[in-house]
Amino acid sequence: MARILAIDYGKKRTGIAVTDELQIIASGLTTVPTGELLQFLKEYISKEKVELLLVGEPKQMNNEASESEVLIKPFVTKLEAAFPKIPVKRVDERFTSKMAFQTMIDSGLKKKQRQDKALVDEISATIILQSYLYSQ
């Protein structure tokens, strides 16, 4: 089996999470500046076998696309072009940032650590990935 990689795409930075090769455990991988994201993914995928790319799909409470979707759609198109053999799936990411923040509180991180937006993005990507694994 190969890994599944999840992306919590953001305007400035993007959180990335990945499964183990058996696709049992979702773990935060890193957060990268969004401008460097495709290059990071190319390097990572050249070293690790990835069979699926998940990209968070921000939705509003009424199930309509969020404003940030206009930034994400062009990225998904580039992602599909860069990795034509790896399927790209969209996953609802409603509340992942709030869940990530709560996870940080629950794990005992101090206020200063909880202000690390890069960590919030990485945890959000992990939550996206974990929710996908649960749904399978």
pLDDT for position 1: 87
Q: What total of structural domains would you count in the chain?
A: 1
State the CATH number of the domain containing residue 26: 3.30.420.140
pLDDT for position 49: 96
pTM of the model: 0.84
Which domain range does residue 60 map to? 3-135
pLDDT for position 36: 97
**Local confidence pLDDT in tens for the 136 residues of the chain:** 899 999 999 899 999 999 999 999 999 999 999 999 999 999 999 999 999 999 988 766 676 766 678 889 999 999 999 999 999 999 877 666 666 667 666 767 677 766 667 777 888 898 889 889 988 8
Q: How far is CA 93 from CA 45, 71, 81, 121, 129, in A?
A: 23, 15, 23, 12, 10
